[in-house]
Amino acid sequence: MKKIRNIAHYIVGFVFIYCIGNKTYVADFYDWQKIVGSLFIGLIFGGTIGMFWEFINNVFFRIQADLNDVKRTAIGGFFGCLLACYYTDIYFITFWLFNACIGLIIADIIRAIIKK
């Protein structure tokens, strides 16, 4: 179960940041802007999404926050933004992965409520 949750953090970061990158047309930037932007956008926004989710788990469900999960989400965000720079045609796949991420988040909420 722990390995699935670890992979889920990478997927959540990847999908959310890929969608943001694709909607902001990062593919039109210069190459150096793509690399530097992917690094900053992916790590900062991916880390923010991961930290926000860990904060929600800590405050509402009293689950201990794990900073490694934040790092996993940030790394997934970096790769999501990097792929949004060069592969813009996989938006359909990420749309379904986005729906799966929403399902994972809902399952995590239900698990935390049941665990109480």
pLDDT at 4 over 80: no
Q: What is the pLDDT of residue 103?
A: 81
Q: Using one digit for the tens of pLDDT, what is the confidence trace for 69-113?
A: 899 999 999 999 988 888 877 767 777 888 877 887 787 778 778
What's the pTM? 0.82
The domain containing residue 103 runs over which residues? Answer: 2-115
Instruction: State how far the alpha carbon of 4 is from the alpha carbons of 1, 44, 48, 69, in Å.
Output: 5, 23, 21, 12
Between CA 9 and CA 64 the distance in angstroms is 16
Q: What is the pLDDT of residue 1?
A: 61
In the chain, the number of structural domains is 1
Across 18-26, average pLDDT: 86
